[in-house]
Structure 1
Amino acid sequence: MVPAVLERSAEDHPVATFFAVAFGYSWGVAGLLYALTRGDVFYLFAVPFAWGPLVGGAVTLRLRGESVRKWVGQVRNWRVGVRWYLLGVALVMVGDDAGAIAAFLLGSDVTVALGGWQLYSALFNFLVTLLVAGALEEFGWRGFAQARLQRRYDAALVSVGVGLVWVAWHVPLMVMSLGSFADPINYTVLMAAKSVLLGWLYNKTGGALPVVMVTHAAGNMPGFLTVTGETPPLLATSPLSASALFTLAVAVVIVWYAGSETLTRSGSLPDRLGSR
């Protein structure tokens, strides 16, 4: 039997309830993994951590008596044109390799790692993230939180806010060194900017969650470029990484071009699937 306080919370504050359940589930998984392994966790064992936003959205909708099936059905909205998939993947992949690209332009030696295990590793990371791990977060971050909050608030600010929550949600993985996390300030800027990119893709495609999920998964692939020469001083002394700066520039261009209110030039927003 569900406590009445949870039902009231979901009814009156659905997004706050979603965040509470998502954090509670994911951080609980992280705590259990740490207790069982003392922090020595093989990264695939942490896959259930990524299900928190999906669980949070489903639980909140169920408490509100809304349709979980319709909400999950966002994944069927995939026929929006291949250009959106290609654009999302291209932007995050360039962002991942922005440091190496900048080093090359500044005269350093760079090699391309596209053969053998590097390619297989990238494909494996992409598929795991897309099918069972991080991409499933997008049901919650974009498909629940952003879809609801941007009905009341500026979409660009909502995207940044969701990005900051996204950073905080990752803290247990940072503590256990599960994943490639930069220093806190750099990582926060990167994720907030990436959240604007993902929010724009979600809104611009009319809520095509698969576009966002594929873009998210592509961002989890390792870069294909490696700096083999000396890192240029300009990059070595920069307070932000080239990846963070590139993604921040993309976010600024998006807001300038599409407008901050809805992140779409048309002024339209996707439907909140699953809501009454």
Structure 2
Amino acid sequence: MQATGLRRLLPFALVCLGLSWVPWLVLAMLRVDVDHGPAQLVFGLAASGPSLAALVLWLAGGRRRRPSGVRLGLWPIAALLLGAAAPVLAALLLHGGDVPQLVRHAGVVVAGVGGPLGALAYTLVSGPLSEEFGWRGYAQPRLRDRFGRGGTVALLGTAWGLWHLPLYFLVGTGQHDTGLFSVQGALFFVMIYPVTYLALFVSEHLRGGVWAAIVLHAAWNFSDAIMPPVGTGGAALETLLWLAIAALAALTWHTRRPTHRIVTSPQPATVPGS
């Protein structure tokens, strides 16, 4: 069982990289702006590589389902708070607790993408739905069949971080603006590990499954987007906050057992491994 699960990770990695890296590298060589025109559509489809790879392998494997491990409980609230905490706290600390200023900035950002519905749609599609069925739905449970929490976070966090590498060479992405060989670029690859741990925490310990990881990822994306730019010092502060929050979650996991009622109804929208 364990060996089979690990063997399936190699095809997942190859399909995922093929769907994501190949189009991205072509766009990088063409030096087109992926924030406009047809390149934006190609970029978006390539960004769905992890979830599409999970779907391809699920279909190729005979569409077998795993029993749903999702339970009713407080995981939606926990995932929202854990995902938004670091960006919001960093912004509050850097702006002297000026909540009205942060609210005004958030309103301008939300209005610029078409209002609350537009912001919600963009936040869910760009990252959470396009990635999490692959990372947390397919890869994470197969790694957990073989490795402990630390090993799973180390391997999955590394894979997740490396998957983002081409974005630093794509004109129009935030990563390109930051730069791969900058302090902020380096901090991103540090930050990815506590976020990976928190995704494991809400999906496994809180029994939220892949949907909890989607909520966490969406809360992170949304809060990070609507807060004012933080610069290098702010990125360092945010990274420290992520590490502290993950440490608190680890302490909670170590000392408490989850107590949530099991959902007996099937999860029709669950993609393999969630």
Q: Return 5+ residue gaps in structure 1 as ranges.
A: 1-8
Q: Which moved more, 1:167-176 or 1:87-96?
A: 87-96
* C-alpha displacement of 1:252: 1.5
Determine the structure 1 residue equivalent to 2:167: 173
> Normalised by the size of structure 1, how large is the TM-score?
0.73
* Alpha-carbon displacement from aligned partner over 1:215-238 (angstroms, at most 9, x marks no partner): 21221124544489xx9xxx84x8
* Alpha-carbon displacement from aligned partner over 1:98-153 (angstroms, at most 9, x marks no partner): 33222245x899822346432334843432231x3311211110111111111111
Determine the structure 2 residue equivalent to 1:53: 50
* Pair 1:86–1:31, CA change in 2 (3 A): same
* Pair 1:160–1:98, CA change in 2 (3 A): farther
Identity %: 23
Q: 2:228 & 2:26 partners in 1: Cα distance?
A: 36
Q: How many residues align?
A: 246
Determine the structure 1 residue equivalent to 2:243: 248
Determine the structure 2 residue equivalent to 1:217: 218
* Pair 1:10–1:174, CA change in 2 (3 A): farther
* C-alpha displacement of 1:179: 3.6
Q: 1:11 & 1:158 partners in 2: Cα distance?
A: 13
What code does the residue aligned with 1:31 have? L
The structure carrying a bigger helix percent of its residues is 2
* C-alpha displacement of 1:273: 7.3
* C-alpha displacement of 1:213: 0.9
Q: 2:208 & 2:252 partners in 1: Cα distance?
A: 19
Q: Return 5+ residue gaps in structure 2 as ranges.
A: 179-183, 260-269
Q: 2:85 & 2:258 partners in 1: Cα distance?
A: 28
* Pair 1:264–1:133, CA change in 2 (3 A): farther
CA contact (8 A) 2:51 2:134 kept: yes
Determine the structure 2 residue equivalent to 1:156: 150
Say yes or no: does 1:103 pair with 2:94. Answer: yes
Give the alignment of 1:58-137 within 5 angstroms. Answer: 58-63=55-60, 65-67=61-63, 70=65, 80-81=72-73, 83-104=74-95, 111-114=101-104, 116-120=107-111, 121=113, 123=116, 124-130=118-124, 132-136=125-129, 137=131
Determine the structure 2 residue equivalent to 1:41: 34
Q: 2:256 & 2:174 partners in 1: Cα distance?
A: 32
Determine the structure 1 residue equivalent to 2:134: 140
Q: 1:264 & 1:164 partners in 2: Cα distance?
A: 28
Q: 1:154 & 1:214 partners in 2: Cα distance?
A: 24
CA contact (8 A) 1:127 1:217 kept: no
> Normalised by the size of structure 2, how large is the TM-score?
0.74
Larger relative contact order (CA 8 Å, sep ≥ 6): 2
Q: 2:107 & 2:99 partners in 1: Cα distance?
A: 21
CA contact (8 A) 1:18 1:56 kept: yes
CA contact (8 A) 2:34 2:173 kept: no
CA contact (8 A) 1:34 1:41 kept: no
* C-alpha displacement of 1:258: 0.9
Determine the structure 1 residue equivalent to 2:199: 198
* C-alpha displacement of 1:79: 6.6
What code does the residue aligned with 2:167 have? L
What code does the residue aligned with 1:160 have? A
CA contact (8 A) 1:54 1:140 kept: yes
What code does the residue aligned with 1:38 have? R
* C-alpha displacement of 1:11: 8.1
Q: Which moved more, 1:191-200 or 1:210-219?
A: 210-219
CA contact (8 A) 1:23 1:52 kept: yes
2:101 partner SS: strand
Q: 1:177 & 1:80 partners in 2: Cα distance?
A: 42
* Alpha-carbon displacement from aligned partner over 1:77-105 (angstroms, at most 9, x marks no partner): 87724x32222222222211333222245
